[in-house]
């Protein structure tokens, strides 16, 4: 499965990459903000996207809206420090499928990924 990691922090991308590798996901593309992700998403065609919210140039929520508006249908998990209910609702309305609040454990991220993929498969 192809997974795209979108986060401006290289540290956070590396942590998430390592968790994904442990889960058996080997095809991983990284982007450092929404703009970078938009430029890579067509060529890479991810089957799952992990997206941060607060990023320079283009934030995660703007990316999600753009991605969905352009016909992107792959599941999106938002991985962010934004924990308020209003933010979660805003993200879901923009087209996010699931939500992980930082800080997270490898187990909680893995659980949300499995949950998201299971829901999409069942739909």
Nearest distance from residue 84's CB to other proteins, in Å?
Answer: 5
Task: Give the 3-state secondary structure of residue 107.
Answer: helix
Nearest distance from residue 14's CB to other proteins, in Å?
Answer: 7
Contact set for other proteins, span 82-121 (CB under 8 A): 82-84, 86, 101-105
Q: Does 21 bind other proteins (CB under 8 A)?
A: no
Q: Between 72 and 91, whose beta carbon lies closer to other proteins?
A: 91
Specify whether the CB–CB gap between 10 and 36 falls below 8 A: no
Stretch that binds other proteins, among 38-46, 76-84, 90-98, 109-117 (CB under 8 A): 76-84
State the Cα–Cα distance between residues 66 and 20, nearest whole angstrom.
Answer: 25
Single out the residue of 28, 36, 12 nearest to residue 109, CA to CA. Answer: 12
Specify whether the CB–CB gap between 72 and 32 falls below 8 A: no
Q: Does 55 bind other proteins (CB under 8 A)?
A: yes
Contacts of 15 (CB under 8 A, 6+ apart): none
Specify whether the CB–CB gap between 76 and 51 falls below 8 A: yes
Stretch that binds other proteins, among 42-50, 53-61, 69-77, 90-98 (CB under 8 A): 53-61
**Residues binding other proteins (CB under 8 A):** 8-12, 14-15, 54-56, 80-84, 86, 101-105
């Amino acid at each position: 499965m192809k997974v795209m990691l979108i986060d401006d922090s290289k540290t956070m991308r590396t942590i998430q990459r390592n968790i994904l590798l442990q889960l058996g996901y080997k095809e991983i593309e990284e982007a450092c903000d929404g703009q970078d992700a938009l430029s890579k998403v067509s060529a890479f065609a991810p089957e799952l996207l992990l997206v941060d919210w607060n990023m320079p140039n283009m934030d995660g929520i703007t990316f999600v809206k753009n991605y969905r508006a352009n016909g992107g249908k792959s599941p999106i998990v938002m991985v962010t420090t934004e924990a308020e209910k209003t933010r979660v609702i805003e993200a879901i309305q923009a087209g996010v499928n699931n939500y992980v609040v930082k800080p997270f454990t490898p187990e909680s991220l893995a659980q949300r990924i499995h949950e998201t993929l299971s829901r999409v498969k069942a739909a």
